[in-house]
Structure 1
Amino acid sequence: MDDEMVVGLPETRLRPFVDRYIGYRERADVPLVRREAAGVFVVLILGWGAPLDVTDPRSVERGVERVDSFVAGTFDGWCMTRTSGVGEGVELLLTPLTARRVLGLPLVELTNRAVGLDQLPGGWLDRLRGRLADAGGWPQRFALLDAALADRLALTPPVDARLVWAWRSLMASGGRDGVGALATQLGWSRRHLAARFRAEIGLPPKTAARLLRFQRAHAVLRGVDATARPHPGSGRPVDWAEVAVRCGYYDQSHLIRDFHQFAGATPAALLAARCAV
């Protein structure tokens, strides 16, 4: 059985909430271990193949074992996944406010946690997983996801518009906006903004801002940011000091510190490992 990855685009009305679906089939004859970087997003895996483990090295209670489907809330540290056999399923990366509506619970309940679908309310995601497994192919599966997500979003109230504004402002600035300035524009205290932000998004705004800066720098390492000079795939050294400034860091040492916390290694070490594969 060949490995397979298929990218599906949600229908137009869903694209403000979900940018893509990733269908996958992957065979691992020996245990496959991956280091997963932190980020201000929620991972939803709806699978029906070989089970896997998700491990946070900081605490065993934060992970989950032997599941084919799970949701991982916003993490402020890296974690590991491990699987063997043939895995098959669909992966969705959800923004926190979309996940808040799709999952039907404040994301503070999932901060730094991965949980199986049986621990989520309603059971609708587990039923959807079964329907995806029985579907005839990827187009049918993506259509099922469209219908299920549209129904779910129609049933759940939107998040407070003021919090949506704060999140979008932080996103638009790449994590450069100051928390105090955001609170002032909302007419909230810093403490109130931090409490609301953490309850709904899972992390305080200051941590979310750090992660947004890190995600942009990490995109350079992965070759996603085509504006990097030189590009990581060019074979020439990347100027990480320049990347640090462009991504909103004070200096390169701050960037390296965040890479240690959020990815578990320095940018140079991660790039070397990537090039060795």
Structure 2
Amino acid sequence: MSPVDDDLVIGLPEMRLRPFVDRYIGYRERADVPLVRREPAGVFVVLILGWGAPLDVVDPRSAERGIERVDSFVAGTFDGWCTTRTVGVGEGVELLLTPLTARRVLGLPLAEVANRAVGLGQLPGGWLDRLRHRLADAACWPQRFALLDTALADRLVGAPTVDARLDWAWRRLVASGGRDGIGALATELGWSRRHLAARFREEVGLAPKTAARLLRFQQAHAALRGVSATTGLRPAGAVRAVDWAEVAVRCGYYDQSHLIRDFHQFAGTTPAALLAARSTA
């Protein structure tokens, strides 16, 4: 038996939910010794609905941003890396939500959970905690995914929509991979740059400039996993063959130094070190 055994099940939401949730990740993980993972920053919201061994979330910048001994939590949009630690058998479902979807699902502005891991008991309504118990009691993963479909659809139907102008600005930023200028977006909206920044901080949890940096970082980080076919990366293991300057340009960076700076801030290490670790895993 290996120190860590993983069992992952991917579920696809029903069609009407796919504009909001791309997939459900069911997991059952046994760690015989303490398992510590470094989690990169991201302009998305992590929702864990679990019922197994508890874990700790630690942000090295501040103990108050983390949480201890929980099996379920929400981690808001975050602009720095953190670590998770667990031991035992953990089981649950993970969802990655875009900020404006999370704003509707959670029923609160993301400024309230940005750069924080928050237990379900701190969220309004208590519906997520009730859903967690129903998921734990379900007999199989298809039943759990069906419960998620129903709960999320009901939640989204009853939730107020977000400001269409903010939604447009977010979609433009995503479509450009974080390359669109913030000033140009504000001008097209007829807003001041300061007003756009204030709306982003309140509803997305981060300033638009930071969100743009994270979108570029996420593209580069995904490239290391072979997700993007346009980055010029060679197969894992050929670490020295990677043209990091080319990767930087294709992911929207000015140069290689900016790429490395963002990896230090958002992943806590360099892209070369991450790729080397994966090639020897």
Question: Normalised by the size of structure 1, how large is the TM-score?
Answer: 0.98
Shift of 1:3: 2.9
Distance 1:136 1:231 in 2: 43
Distance 1:234 1:31 in 2: 27
Give the structure 2 partner of residue 248 of structure 1: 252
Distance 1:7 1:221 in 2: 21
Give the structure 2 partner of residue 154 of structure 1: 157
Shift of 1:231: 2.6
Is the counterpart of residue 274 in structure 1 residue 275 in structure 2? no
Distance 2:201 2:84 in 1: 26
Aligned with 1:191: secondary structure?
Answer: helix
Distance 1:230 1:252 in 2: 14
Describe the superposition over 1:23-45 as per-residue Cα deviations: whole angstroms up to 9, x where unpaired.
Answer: 00010000000000001000000
Within the candidate set 203, 207, 211, 1:208 is matched to 211
Give the structure 2 partner of residue 11 of structure 1: 14
Contact 1:38 1:78 (C-alpha < 8 Å) held by counterparts: yes
Distance 2:233 2:204 in 1: 35
Give the structure 2 partner of residue 85 of structure 1: 88
Shift of 1:226: 2.6
Aligned partner letter, 1:10: P
Give the structure 1 partner of residue 220 of structure 2: 217
Give the structure 2 partner of residue 99 of structure 1: 102
Aligned with 1:202: secondary structure?
Answer: coil
Describe the superposition over 1:191-229 as per-residue Cα deviations: whole angstroms up to 9, x where unpaired.
Answer: 000000110000010000000000000011122113332
Contact 1:232 1:238 (C-alpha < 8 Å) held by counterparts: no
Distance 2:128 2:15 in 1: 22
Is the counterpart of residue 48 in structure 1 residue 51 in structure 2? yes
Give the structure 2 partner of residue 172 of structure 1: 175
Contact 2:216 2:251 (C-alpha < 8 Å) held by counterparts: yes
Aligned partner letter, 1:190: R
Distance 2:231 2:110 in 1: 33
- The number of equivalent residue pairs is 277
Distance 1:182 1:227 in 2: 26
Distance 1:189 1:23 in 2: 43
Shift of 1:234: 5.7
Identity of aligned residues (%): 83
Contact 2:231 2:250 (C-alpha < 8 Å) held by counterparts: no
Give the structure 1 partner of residue 72 of structure 2: 69
Aligned with 2:130: secondary structure?
Answer: helix
